Amino acid sequence: MNARLLFTVAAIFNAVVGLAMLVAYDLLVPWLGLPRRPTVWIHIIALVVLVFGYAYWRIANDPLRFREYIVLGIVGKLAFVVAIYGHFLAGDATAALATLVTADLVFAALFAAYLARTPADGRR
């Protein structure tokens, strides 16, 4: 998968998740088992998701210039995976939320594969 496609899809995914948390929160509550009312932490998470989405969009448009953001993306996605899977295993996160964050695990693996196959200087 080329960088433009991979990181554009990641940017769209983050935009959909972040915006849904901000503007359609009530629809997510029963499905994801979120608190009835969004807290400041929910809003912060939504905004962080959107910021990462913007970074993925920048990578999609210039993967060489924004290469260091890819490592940050891997770390961010894996942090969400560890936190949510941990809470799922402890019994206080839903299977739907754990399933949703599995997309982050897939993206982290795809980002790492992209880094492994693409030299830092951009040569093939």
DSSP string, 13-25: HHHHHHHHHHHSH
Q: What is the pLDDT of residues 110-120, one digit of tens each?
A: 999 999 999 88
At residue 32, does pLDDT exceed 80?
yes
Q: Are 63 and 3 a contacting pair, CB within 8 Å?
A: yes
Rounded percentage of the chain residues whose pLDDT exceeds 70: 98
Question: What does pTM read for this prediction?
Answer: 0.92
Residue ranges per structural domain of the chain = 3-117
Quote the tokens at residue 36.
């009835």
Q: Compute the distance between CA of residue 107 and CA of residue 95 in angstroms, rounded to an integer.
A: 19
Give mean pLDDT, residues 9-23.
97
